[in-house]
Structure 1
Amino acid sequence: MNTIPQDMAPRRHGSRETGLLDGTSALPSEEALALILERMVATASVSDDEGPLADAVQAALAACPSWRVDRLGDTVVARTDLGRSHRIVMAGHLDTVPVNGNLPPRWLETGDPEIRSDVAQAHPGSRVLRGRGTADMKASDAVMLHLASVLDNPVYDLTLVFYDHEEVAAEKNGLGRVVAAHPDWVRGDFAIIGEPTNCGIEAGCNGTMRFDLVTHGVAAHSARSWMGSNAIHSAAPILARLDAYQPRTVAVDGLDYQEGLNATMISGGTGTNVIPDTCRVHVNYRFAPDKTLADAKALMMGADAGAELGNGEHRATGGVFEGFDVEMCDESPAARPGLASPWARSLTDLITQTNGSTPRPKLGWTDVARFSALGVPAVNLGAGDPLLAHKSDEQVPLDDLVSLESILVSWLKKHQ
């Protein structure tokens, strides 16, 4: 590989004109990871605007020997064809939630007061990059991209998926679109989703569904309110049922998944002196992987309510919200832990030996569910703290990237 002279080295502020891997071949792994991460974070990629980062990832992968690179929209897929008997898929999303005063990224040295106390305590002496997307999940993306450029002779064929639109409605998800259009691109024996997990395995995931509960009334002037019927007032029993609901903890394959049912938005009314004729309470149900989507719907609205994405309002015939009109907005299935496969067992053993971590349940939804639906066991494993995802002070310690890469290199070079 060519070494770039020092006076021609790429700029370190992560501009889009600088290739993500430019100049990294001559650097020690830790410095290369830091540079790739900084460049990726500096390229803003809020959902719907992933194009420039996808371009940069595609260009970087195209320059790596032995990788075939394909693209669908702003999802980039790279695959080796080494003739191995098994294939491992690693996937990471490129998009972030909106920026909140946390771009451009900034390196924080040891002792900097902007390093969170929990991060400083867990990673003493490590440099920390602060910025949108550092933990969720450009740290893992940077590791994947670096592996593509340096990993030689793995015992498996590999597939790397860098996909768009994970942070928004499931219908936009780039991995989902690839699964629908080119399932051969993402076939494998085992998959790793690079969601932040502090370099430990978080297995499976809760499912999620979002729906509106709709009440209807009759509009009238508020000075003559008896001439109308207040739809917002009619929503009071919905809030009461939500307040009375007791979330469950469900054990699945030895891991405890915490469920949740919450109103996340409420809207109604057309004017300050008008009795509202419609009110919508937006509800999010997070359900454990012991349930299918059909099971979860039955618990919320009855088994035969008929509410599906895009088919309007339907009356709940049973469940928590029996008697109310329901309109589905979004839904994604849960995934069981997937720890029984030989790849999951060997990876778990290696991580336990390396950092003492044992598998935990993933309480949020992740794209392990898409692989689970394909019959491919999958786990979440990535750099960064999941509790820092979407926070305004989102940050990641550099030594987490180093640890993740070390784990993956050891595992990918070891025969099962």
Structure 2
Amino acid sequence: MVNPLSPEVLADPVTLTRALVDIESVSLDEQRIADCVEQVLAEVPWLSTQRFGNTVMARTDLGRTQRVVLAGHLDTVPLADNFPSRVDGNLIYGCGTSDMKSGLAHALHLAVTVDAPRYDVTYLFYEAEEIDSRFNGLRLVAQAHPQWLAADFAVLHEPTYGVVEAGCQGTLRAMVTTAGRRAHSARSWRGVNAIHAAGEVLRRLGDYRPRDVTIDGCHYREGLNAVRINGGVAGNVIPDECAVEVNFRFAPDRDDQQAQAHVHEVFAGFDVEIVDCAGGALPGLDSAPAREFLAAVGEPPVAKLGWTDVARFAALGIPALNFGPGDPNLAHARDEHVEVDKIRQGAEMLRRWLVPA
């Protein structure tokens, strides 16, 4: 196989972005891109490289007093008539341009061009972020090779449009169920309509006032919303069960247990089943590498409104933040694209941070 990631391509993060986009890597089909990345990193004399599944890790061991991680996922969502890449002026279009192959290009470009960073660096290129978490390469590495993640600070190259998005929200899904008694709709008074009973659940959601929370200068907005309703038996039957699925996005000052307790409190009197919960991550801006990173970027951080894999680092006690050139509002879109200028600016910022003055 001819590797499209040639030295000339690797030298330019913009050209490298296009080359990475043009390697199809929909979730669970990352072998080719992982092969290409592994081959490149294995040839770099200042890096030691290992692989686990389709996750590739490369690291320096220069004896620095601190270690940082640069991490990004190799996979994309399914193609949507947006492959291969194309260029239109200052824009590169294609699947994964924003989320997150332009960010991957930053990490890979730095890995092969910065031979003496101020910190020891671990570069992680992992699989299956866009699908069910049981496939997530970062989660699997944390279980099988936790030493790969050991660090004082981490940067996750999620799209942030060139600003620092610190920490992340937690997310919880719950099923709030109402019960009734089934009957023929022609004799509805003999039954109890569970869908009607769900009106109280919706009323509580409508009356709910979410918190705004400021942590380390970052403003996190919570939200509790119905995202799906299931109920009904047939067109002539009074339903005896209705389930309202709710999603709670919570600030990282709540842990999982506190978030679950809050949802149970809001829906007191109803049957509440927590079906999924992933805690958030505090901003973690106190470490020296984080402060130096913010100085290199030159802009104040903002809160990450959403859940990202920085939470996996936070669970290991590693402060982490999100930084990438793509616009998160374009992630997964048919017209997904990234600005060339943002790629270049982000690469320069990261180099200022990693390379001693």
- Does TM, normalized by the shorter one, top 0.5? yes
Match of 2:356 in 1: 414
* Cα distance change of structure 1 residues 28 and 39 upon mapping to structure 2, 3 Å threshold: closer
Q: Shift of residue 87 of structure 1?
A: 1.1
- Inter-partner Cα distance in structure 2 for 1:405 and 1:150: 11
Match of 1:133 in 2: 96
SS of structure 2 residue aligned to 1:235: helix
Post-superposition CA distance 1:209-234 (Å, at most 9, x none)? 11222233344444444454433222
Residue 88 (str. 1) matches residue 51 (str. 2): no
**In structure 2, what residue type is equivalent to 1:67?**
L
Larger RCO (CA under 8 A, 6+ residues apart): 2
1:20/1:60 contact within 8 Å kept = no
2:170/2:278 contact within 8 Å kept = yes
Post-superposition CA distance 1:185-216 (Å, at most 9, x none)? 11111111111122221111111111222233
**In structure 1, what residue type is equivalent to 2:39?**
A
- Inter-partner Cα distance in structure 2 for 1:19 and 1:260: 45
Question: Which of 54, 73, 81 is the equivalent residue of 1:74?
Answer: 54
- Inter-partner Cα distance in structure 2 for 1:28 and 1:186: 25
Give aligned-pair identity as a percent. 48
Aligned pair count?
Answer: 357
Match of 1:255 in 2: 218
Match of 2:168 in 1: 205
* Cα distance change of structure 1 residues 214 and 79 upon mapping to structure 2, 3 Å threshold: same
Aligned runs of 1:322-361 on 2, under 5 Å?
Answer: 322-352=268-298, 357-361=299-303
Match of 2:304 in 1: 362
1:20/1:36 contact within 8 Å kept = no
Residue 164 (str. 1) matches residue 146 (str. 2): no
Q: Shift of residue 81 of structure 1?
A: 1.9
Residue 246 (str. 1) matches residue 209 (str. 2): yes
Q: What is the TM-score normalised by the length of structure 2?
A: 0.92
SS of structure 2 residue aligned to 1:212: strand
Aligned runs of 1:49-198 on 2, under 5 Å?
Answer: 49-109=29-89, 127-198=90-161
SS of structure 2 residue aligned to 1:401: helix
SS of structure 1 residue aligned to 2:202: helix
Match of 1:19 in 2: 3
Post-superposition CA distance 1:393-412 (Å, at most 9, x none)? 22101221211211112211
**In structure 1, what residue type is equivalent to 2:267?**
F
Match of 2:25 in 1: 45
- Inter-partner Cα distance in structure 1 for 2:206 and 2:255: 24
- Inter-partner Cα distance in structure 1 for 2:334 and 2:74: 18
- Inter-partner Cα distance in structure 2 for 1:42 and 1:272: 50
Q: Shift of residue 159 of structure 1?
A: 0.6
Match of 1:391 in 2: 333
Post-superposition CA distance 1:85-130 (Å, at most 9, x none)? 2211011122233433433322112xxxxxxxxxxxxxxxxx2111
Q: What is the TM-score normalised by the length of structure 1?
A: 0.79
Runs of 5+ consecutive residues of structure 2 not aligned to the other structure: none
* Cα distance change of structure 1 residues 49 and 211 upon mapping to structure 2, 3 Å threshold: farther
**In structure 1, what residue type is equivalent to 2:343?**
L
1:170/1:330 contact within 8 Å kept = no
**In structure 2, what residue type is equivalent to 1:60?**
V
Q: Shift of residue 339 of structure 1?
A: 1.1
Question: Which of 217, 221, 231 is the equivalent residue of 2:180?
Answer: 217
- Inter-partner Cα distance in structure 2 for 1:397 and 1:171: 33
- Inter-partner Cα distance in structure 1 for 2:87 and 2:229: 40
RMSD: 2.2
